[in-house]
Amino acid sequence: MGHIAANKGDLLKRVKRIAGQIQAVERALESDLDCAKTLHLVAATRGAINGLMEEIIEDHAREHVANPALSEEERNKGVEELLEAIRRYSK
């Protein structure tokens, strides 16, 4: 996935924010924070992970499926990789 290197900095920033959100969920659980507030923290974290996943899926689709320079074999491989990731993601 060398093409991700172009967005590496932005992706790493997202991951660090997600790590911070996960830590906030952990602190909420450890401190017996109100369940509604904990649910909001979890929902925000899930939204951030979904956003990260969407960005990486889009990058993959553009580079490994829609790129006109790809051979049919490369395109098919890219589609299969994408479908496998989506299947895992949607479970």
d(CA 19, CA 47): 13
pTM of the predicted structure, to 2 decimals: 0.83
- Closest to 65 (Cα-Cα) out of 82, 85, 89, 86: 82
Quote the pLDDT of residue 1: 47
Contacts for 67 with CB less than 8 Å, ≥ 6 apart: 75
Mean pLDDT, 10 residues at a time, the chain of 91 residues? 77 96 97 95 96 93 95 97 91 76
Helix intervals (H) in the chain: 8-30, 35-64, 72-89
DSSP-derived letter for residue 63 is H
